[in-house]
Structure 1
Amino acid sequence: MASSISSSEETVHQKQDALPSGLRLTAANRPGMAQPVPERDIPQQPWGAMAIAVTVLLLLFTSLWEWKMRTLELIPGDLGRNTDRWAELRKEIDKRNVPVVIVGDSRILYDSDLDRATQLIGVRPVQLGIPGTSGLPILQDLADDPNFKGVAIVGMMESAYFDLTGSREQKAIDLARWESPSKRGSFLIQRALSHGLAMLDDDYKLSTLIFRLDSDWRQGVKGPRHGVWKPQETGSGGQVWLWRRIEHDRRFSEHIRYIWVHYEVPPEPLDDQIIRNISIGTKVAVDKIRARGGDVVFVRPPSAPDVREVEDRHIPRARGWDVILATTHSNGIHFDDLPAAQNLTLPEGGHTTRACATVFTDAYLRALVGKTAFLHLQLDAPPALSTRNCVPPSLTVP
């Protein structure tokens, strides 16, 4: 005698067989029964041809996008403002004796030619400048690191150095201390792929470009006009330049100049208490480094006259630069005092062209050689440069 279960299964199979091809029984058709694995007919399609077509279209559109990005003067290998690269450089101090470190904001970062520095002083500085930040937290991090016993060249654009409201420098420091395996792996993959693809530039991701379409349409919402679209070009070994397109694209340079003048520097004078606090914090860091046998010197990179006027209203040389040097008993070189660094080309008012960065590096390092025992001019150092080495003769002031 057949069981009731067998009878039910037979009935279900009969109903399932009676359904049109491609359809299956639902739970409503099988009350009180366990749910079987869904069955669905896969239609016959030219899957091989479809896969080839998709691959061809992917390669085509990727090639077109890559070509477009290169027409915008993006280059393969440019990691932009990636903090993973900075953290990698910071770890060098814990691995070996680093005699010269450069810290500060984008001024000293873009305006320093590391190859020229190597020719002049015989060692390649480790570049730890971070755009849009104060150099003080990085200096304090070096002061607390017993491995650092060299000289720190601190770049100081006063409105940045005396502003500790940002968090980017602290995030970079934290990343140098500990980096998750997934983040480290992601960076290594990106770096490997970026050597062949300019389209991986973070400042020109599709999501970033879409954001820039918002021309301040939303009331009270800060739009892309208030941010620098792409300021830098990152090379190998920590070398960073002002992005080459800014040197000749007036729309880009004027956009950045507008930001420097109207948004980046507060219009009101800096509070005296803030100046005292920053000066004391700097002195503590400098004293720690000198107690270990190291040294600290300061450099003030150039600004265009219109940008300098805004900066001086916020914190003039006498209240900022002079106070730091006096409080810390340090030596330094201000671009005002460098004849070889006058009238350099500053496309957007705040940073030199890469040719003028070489001239400025040559000028400030030669001046610092006599101000710290850690820097010595090589016997086979190249001849000194001047403004004429980077500014067209027609624009050079006699």
Structure 2
Amino acid sequence: MKDALSAVFGFLAILFFGSVFGVFFGKSSPTPNATRSDSSFAHDKDSIASSRIEKSTDDGQSEDVQEATSQINKAANQIFLQRTEQFVSQLATWKSEANAIPNTKEELARLKSEVAVHESKQPTPPVHTVREWSTIDEKYKATASLVETDNVKVTLEKVDGKQITVSKAVLIAEDRVYIDKAISLLSAYSAAHSEWQLERDEALVKISETEARILLGEGPAPVPPNRSEVVAELIAAEEKRELAAKFAEEKREMAAMFAEEQRRKREKLAEAKLKSVSRVRRQYAANAYTTILRIFDPEKVLIASVDAQDKKLILTVTNAWHFQPYQIRLQTAQSLWQGWANLSNPDEARISLVDFQGNAVGGSRIWGGSQIWVQDK
């Protein structure tokens, strides 16, 4: 027993002076408890409203409401004046067209008659008759009609409907003259048709404009503007703008809330990761503590087991512990704490001495890890 106690006290002395183990196993510096206040995104409508109340005027309206009303009235007057000018112009045009309806209808009938005559004068494309075609060497001959040509290649359609393409240069002189004449006729037709199409389009535009004038003259008279409607439109537009601004503000608040939530999640994740790392470090320190303890007390004379729980080291003492004098137990417990503090973090190091039944028989006090107590009996 005496040899075992000497071995244990030797172990405790090594732990007491062995702060080097703390460096080797990496002490974790104390993490200050940072406090922060959560950002609040809820709006207190009553407080906001009360802070914005302006001094009331004689007619009972607040200054901001009066200013808004003045701006709406000013804008309404401008819009009403513009619409009135437009109405006067539209009314004059309507009266003019209404009085001119008989003449306008006569003009429409004349234009339609001219278009009908113009339609009958539409140019017709040149028609190519079936004729004999031959190459200069007379090796190839065909009975066909001209389909198209670019003055280099010639496309012919035979009587059986089959089309062939040959070079103009290989054809006899008579065929080449025919092709030149066909090109000239086609060019003249294209020019005439373009001119005819342009005149027809212009006439159709005039007909459309004339019909629109008749519809205007036969339609209802323009309605004069209503200032009350203008004011209602402006109020509706302002309400729509305010609604859009409110929606944008709510969207920004939601984005801020989401960002805050993500930040909190990242903080929790980092905190959990830090706790995990700290837990692993403490476990390494506890394993080292146990290993050294067992070197000097392999028979477990005083300490039966060591268990690391969070930041506290649970030491289960043997029955021999209870037979030691109070002062010896106190000094031994203090040395046990010092050894654990050297291997972990002195500010967080705590020990608890329990018997085989789990009853506390000593350890660190609540207000400080180094404040060690043991049972006095």
TM-score range, shorter chain: under 0.3
The TM-score, its normalising length taken from structure 1, stands at: 0.19
Structure with bigger helix share is 2
Task: Give the number of the structure with larger relative contact order, counting CA–CA contacts within 8 Å between residues 6 or more apart.
Answer: 2
The TM-score, its normalising length taken from structure 2, stands at: 0.20
